[in-house]
Amino acid sequence: MGSVNCHTALHNNMALVYGDLMKICEYDCWFQAWGTQHIPASLVAMLENVTIEEQGEIMGWTGAELRRGLRRGFGISQKAGPKETRVGTIGHLNTALNLALPPQKPEGFVIQVTDDRIIIAGQDPQGALYGAYRLLALLRLGGISPGTRIAEAPAGSHRIINHWDNLDGTVERGYAGNSLFYKDNRIDFDPQRIEDYARLLASVGINRISINNANVRKAAKKLITETYLPDVAKLAAIFRPFGIRLLLSINFASPYLLGEVSTADPLDPAVQDWWKARSEVIYRYIPDLAGFVVKADSEFEPGPFQYGRTHAQGANMLAAALKPHGGEVIWRCFVYNCTQDWRDPSIDRAKAAYDHFMPLDGGFDQNVLLQIKFGPYDFQVREPVSPLFGRLSKTRHIMELQITQEYTGQQIDLCYLPWIWEDIMNFDTAYRPASTIRELLGPSIEGLAGVSNVGLDQNWTGHTLAQANLYGYGRLGWDPNLSAQKIAEEWSLLTFGESDAAQTVTKLLMKSYPVYEGYNAPFGVCFMVNPGSHYGPNPEGYEFSKWGTYHRADRQSIGVDRGPTGTGYTEHYSPQKAGLFRDPSRCPEELILFFHRLRYDYRMKNNETLIQNIYNAHFEGYEAVEAMRNDWMGLKGKLDETVYTSVLSRLEQQLENAREWRDVINTYFWRKTGIPDAKGRLVYG
Ligand code: GCU
């Protein structure tokens, strides 16, 4: 078939027609139009007759979403008949239909299919909405037939997307075009686009979204004034029926930046009153605002340190202002010295978050949650999991992940992040009997916050296959037991249908992360990027920098001794974990340079030297990208041409970049050490 502007098709509710090839609408992401062919007729008859049992904004919207999804996704329209689909809350349906569905955790649901009826029962209206989306996905993925009974509930209560969007329309670390929300220092959005975005997010369980950059200093500090609040309220209204509550990033110095009080000292009553009054105004516009996100005393953002106050004092002051409205303070732990002296080896940036926040455990009010980056640095390709997890025991907290690919290829390179997120979930803090991150997500880590990877690009994420990262983030926050493989299979199938493409894509996704790590920064060395852009190789880009983070490569050795005789970072972990990290022979090799300073002739487990392993990783990484590009080319003619071409062009760029990484890093080490590659591949001496 010819090219269809699927965005227009979407707006006109046109179903897309298939030719010989699966026609993929990049804009539709994991909601491709499929037709009824995959669904048994008995189910179709039930799905044609959807009844929503209860009133209310989210429940009403659930009905609209389900009917819309059935119509657009499968061509199923509504008509009366003897078979039916009933949607409501568990409590109501149990009474109305004389069922005995068991209660679920908040936002959970049960889907039950009998011979003539599908039940979607939410623990609450939001649960019903998630049940409806799950049903739509399962109709594509398989697994719905008479006799099916599924019960699910999200692991964490907080499933957050953080936007780093600036009011001028740019997006910090954004690789998919400009902001969905802002333009030219105004709130400016296409309501349809926001609705479509909300649908994508809600369908994978997202329930909160912060809409402005945590670096509020740079922009958007006025978002909490009445110049902007009416428009913020309009955005909130679009997200609301999807069960997504807005968060606003605020600037800690707002009281004086907005010109009303001369200080921002959290212990000053005038400051406290200012925030209370401001919160009242904000909540008049957005009564269900989820709260504030705060980046304080971090990378030049103002904070309580300015007044000699602690972060607990700062956060609690805001918490008091939000409490009457049911709001929460999401306080980021990304606090470190960004004006450090590279000459001083006693400063270890990796220790900062722990050193700042562990002593405050128990000092935060009940409506404060600490938002902790997964690792102690800053979203590097490989970092150990932050030692705050498992250790904080009296403070509510969530984990921050980066969906946008800042250090992981900037949506040029294919890099499937659930692969590493699975690894993070597997990390055993070794503090309690149930102590992996996966097990702690819910009971102790109350959720995830992920930095958004979307923008105005027609396919949302720049690289079409980066949609898998957004999808995977949502799915993992909902169910941390899902494997990266399973998520890749789901996403590929939902996006590409049952096809060669889906199978190839799953394989490429699963390969992509270790491949990227290989040509980028293997063995936990971190930060070998160009300062500023954080893209492209620069082995000493952060060696003499005030931002910190040094690998200190010399002629003989590389890496940082973070054991007790070094910076002492290992001692932040449980004794079992610290013992493992301290000992180079037991330390996971993918992190060995993070924890140890080693000679280049150190023998790794494969009995080759460290330097040879570094060379190999970069050479093999490049070759693997070439193979990935070739695998993709094997899909020519088997896949929608637009998607084929756009992904191919990214893979070509990735190959070029991998070549640059390979040659710059390997040549750097060859020149530094004088040790040749055992296989004679180095030529740029
Ligand atoms: C990184 C990133 C910044 C961002 C910061 C943060 O340092 O490069 O752009 O502002 O993280 O998480 O706040």
Q: Each residue of 647-674: pLDDT tens digit?
A: 999 999 999 999 999 999 999 999 999 9
| Ligand 1 centre distance from Cα of residue 8 (Å) | 36
Select from 170, 381, 402, 406 the residue to mutate for testing ligand 1; criterion: most ligand atoms less than 8 Å from CB.
Answer: 406
Q: Indicate whether 262 pLDDT > 50.
A: yes
| Res. 532 pLDDT band, cuts 50 70 90 | very high
The pLDDT of residue 110:
98
Bridge partner list, 158: 447
CA 224 vs CA 178, 229, 231, 250: distances in Å: 22, 6, 11, 8
Atom of ligand 1 nearest to the CA of 373: 12
Residue 473 Cβ < 6 Å to ligand 1:
no
Q: Given the CA of residue 298, which atom of ligand 1 is nearest to it? A: 13
Ligand 1 lined by 173 (C-beta under 6 Å): yes
Cα 178 to ligand 1 centre (Å):
18
Kindly give the distance from the C-alpha atom of residue 400 to the centroid of ligand 1, in angstroms, as a whole number: 12
Q: Are 225 and 282 in contact (CB under 8 A)?
A: no
Residue 400, pLDDT above cutoff 70: yes
Assess contact for 610 and 472: CB atoms under 8 A. Answer: no
Q: Does ligand 1 come within 6 angstroms of the Cβ of 334?
A: yes
Neighbours of 38 (CB within 10 A): 14
Distance 489 CA to ligand 1 centre (A): 31
Q: Tell me how far apart the alpha carbons of residues 532 and 357 are, in angstroms, rounded to a whole number.
A: 27
Collapse the DSSP code of 399 into the 3-class scheme (helix H, G, I; strand E, B; otherwise coil) and give the result: strand
Up-side HSE of residue 367: CA atoms within 13 Å toward CB? 18
Ligand 1 neighbour 301 (Cβ under 6 A): no
Catalytic residue among 172, 188, 231, 299: 299
Q: Which fold has domain 158-481?
A: TIM Barrel (3.20.20)
Report the nearest-CA residue for atom 1 of ligand 1: 378
Cα(first)–Cα(last) distance of the chain, in Å? 53
Q: Which amino acid is at 156?
A: G
Ligand 1 centre to CA of 185 (Å) is 21
Assess whether 490 carries a catalytic annotation: no
Distance (angstroms) between ligand 1 centre and the Cα of 494 equals 32
Determine the pLDDT at residue 35. Answer: 80
Flag the least confident range among 2-6, 146-150, 347-351, 471-475: 2-6
Measured between alpha carbons, how far is 509 from 491 in angstroms, rounded to an integer? 10
- Using the 8-state DSSP alphabet, how is residue 298 labeled? S
218 close to ligand 1 (CB < 6 Angstrom): no
- Residue 433: pLDDT above 90? no
CB burial class (10 A; 0-12, 13-18, 19+) of residue 295? buried
Answer for the pair 199, 242: CB distance below 8 angstroms, yes or no: yes
If one residue of 171, 294, 299 were mutated to test the ligand 1 pocket, choosing by the most ligand atoms within 8 A of its CB, it would be 299
According to DSSP, the β-strands at 117-122 and 109-113 are antiparallel
Task: Tell me the CA–centroid distance for residue 298 and ligand 1, in Å.
Answer: 9
Question: CB-based contacts of 257: which residues, under 8 Å, 6+ apart?
Answer: 221, 251
Query: For residue 171, how far is its CA from the centre of ligand 1 (angstroms)?
Result: 12
Compute the mean pLDDT over every residue in the chain, rounded to the nearest whole number: 94
Q: What's the rounded Cα separation, in Å, for the pair 611 and 522?
A: 11
- The catalytic position among 165, 406, 439, 489 is 406
Give the separation between CA 499 and CA 82, rounded to whole angstroms.
Answer: 35
In percent, the amount of the chain with pLDDT more than 90 equals 91
Q: Which of 124, 378, 457, 561 is catalytic?
A: 378
- Biggest alpha carbon distance in the chain? 80
Name the residue among 541, 534, 558 with its Cα closest to residue 675.
Answer: 558
Whether 406 is a known active-site residue: answer: yes
pLDDT tens column, 475-492: 999 999 999 999 999 999
> Which atom of ligand 1 is closest in space to residue 400's alpha carbon?
12
**What number of residues does the chain have?**
685
Q: Which ligand 1 atom is nearest residue 164's CA?
A: 10
Q: Quick one: pLDDT at residue 6?
A: 61
Q: Is 190 exposed, middle or buried (0-12, 13-18, 19+ CB in 10 A)?
A: exposed
CA–centroid distance for 118 within its chain: 33
The pair of three-digit structure tokens given for residue 110, joined into one six-digit string: 């049960």
Comparing CA positions, the residue from 126, 128, 106 lying closest to residue 118 is 128
- Judged against a pLDDT cut of 90, whether residue 11 lies above it is answered with no
For residues 466, 479, 110, 57, the Cα torsion angle rounded to the nearest 10 degrees is -60
Cβ of 632 less than 6 Å from ligand 1: no
Rounded mean pLDDT, 453-460: 98
Fold classification of 37-152 is Chitobiase; domain 2 (3.30.379)
Question: With a 6 A CB cut-off, is 168 part of the ligand 1 pocket?
Answer: no
**Residue to mutate (ligand 1; options 378, 381, 547, 549; most atoms within 8 A of CB):** 378
Is residue 378 part of the annotated active site? The answer reads: yes
What would the mean pLDDT of 618-633 be, rounded to a whole number?
98
> For residue 402, which atom of ligand 1 is closest to its CA?
12
Ligand 1 center from residue 623 Cα (angstroms):
31
Beta strands in 295-373 (DSSP E): 328-332, 368-373
Which of the listed residues 210, 333, 334 should we mutate to test ligand 1's pocket, taking the one with most ligand atoms within 8 A of CB?
Answer: 334
pLDDT of 220 reads 65
Q: Which residues lie closer than 8 Å to 85 by C-beta, 6 or more apart?
A: 46, 47, 49, 50, 51, 66, 117, 118, 119, 120
> How many whole angstroms separate alpha carbon 486 and alpha carbon 504?
14
**HEC secondary structure over 70-125:** HHHHHCCCCCCCCCEEEEEEHHHHHHHCCCCCCCCCCCCEEEEECCCEEEEEECCH
What does the angle CA 497 – CA 503 – CA 505 come to, to the nearest 5 degrees?
90
Beta bridge partners of 445: 397, 441
For residue 295, the ligand 1 atom closest to its alpha carbon is: 13
- Give pLDDT tens digits for 160-202: 999 999 999 999 999 999 999 999 999 999 999 999 999 999 9
Q: Does domain 483-560+596-685 have CATH number 3.90.1330.10?
A: yes
Give residue 4's pLDDT band: very low, low, confident or very high (50, 70, 90): very low
The structural domains of the chain, with segments of one domain joined by +, span: 37-152, 158-481, 483-560+596-685
Q: Answer yes or no: is the C-beta of 172 below 6 A from any ligand 1 atom.
A: yes
Q: Is the Cα dihedral 25, 417, 510, 489 positive or negative?
A: negative
- Top pLDDT among 41 and 668 is at 668
Q: How far is the CA of 295 from the centre of ligand 1 (A)?
A: 10
Which among 160, 162, 164 is the best mutation to test ligand 1's pocket, defined by most ligand atoms within 8 Å of the CB? 164
